[in-house]
Amino acid sequence: MIGRRAAQAALFVLCLCPQMGLAQDEGEAASAEPAAEEAKPSTIKSDAAELKAKAEAFQDKAHGVLGDFRVGPHVAVGIPHPMTVGLDVVYADLVSLSFGSGRFGHKFDTTEIELTNWDLTARWYVFRGSFYLGAAYGHQTIIGKGTKDVTFDYNGVELTVPSTIRLEIESNYLTPQLGWFARWDWGLTLGFELGLQMPSGAKSELQTSFSNVSTAAEETVRNSADYKKNKKDVEDLGKTLGEKPIPYITLLKVGFLF
């Protein structure tokens, strides 16, 4: 009898142990689930903070010292203005303003030429990238000076005298243009542009002088065919530069934005 009861008790214990183990496992799993649920919000918060920090870092790179406004100098080489320097102001990679001015002088043989200009350019970055459409308004002064011998007949004697012709032309101009103005986050800018410079309101002044010529003989020089030809050549050049539309090309523009 005692042996039978002992066997029944052992069987009861064996059946009870797996159930207790299962309940323990379920209890541990149930206690782990809240912990995992508690961990999820903190993980999401840290990921959001990291994304926000990256976005702010990107904005800091894209912006300048004045926020959406970036300002900096530039230098450009091109035609008809060989070299200009100026200042660029870019807003939010959408629009920009640029002011530039330049002065160039050159002498070859007996001819001297001097060109000064300033202009204000507005640009619209159509795709908020480097490509833009724009227009410039400016003012330029062109001075040409040449020395050439003039041959004329004076009382049956052929004479040759040096003559100096100076032509000064002032005009305003409007230049529709398109171009490429690349801007790097760290400041460097590179660009080029193509347009048509259309002068308006041109004013010209022609001055002539002669060496070793008396006042009486000066009128004879002015009426000579040689002098008239030289004068016409200078006036035609002045009309081309000061009154007719000419191509406007910036071969390279280099600058830096802060």
Assess whether 56 and 76 both reside in one domain: no
Closest CA to 195 of 113, 97, 91, 123: 123
Q: What is the pLDDT of residues 36-48, one digit of tens each?
A: 454 455 666 666 6
Q: Are residues 117 and 191 in the same domain?
A: yes
pTM: 0.69
Phi, psi at 170, each rounded to 5°: -120, 140
Residues 38 and 81 in one domain: no
Whether 29 and 78 map to the same domain: the answer is no
Residues 32 and 11: their CA atoms lie apart, in Å, by 33
Same domain, 207 and 117: yes
Domain that holds residue 2: 1-62
Q: Are 250 and 74 in contact (CB under 8 A)?
A: no
Whether 29 and 89 map to the same domain: the answer is no
231 and 188 inside one domain: yes
From 62, 88, 112, give the residue that closes a domain. 62
Q: Which CATH number belongs to the domain containing residue 152 in this structure?
A: 2.40.160
pLDDT for position 45 = 64
Q: Are 32 and 40 contacting, i.e. CB atoms less than 8 angstroms apart?
A: no
pLDDT at 186: 93
Contacts of 62 (CB under 8 A, 6+ apart): 93, 185
207 and 240 assigned to the same domain? yes
pLDDT for the residue numbered 203: 87
51 and 179 co-located in one domain: no
Whole-number Å distance between alpha carbons of 223 and 143? 24
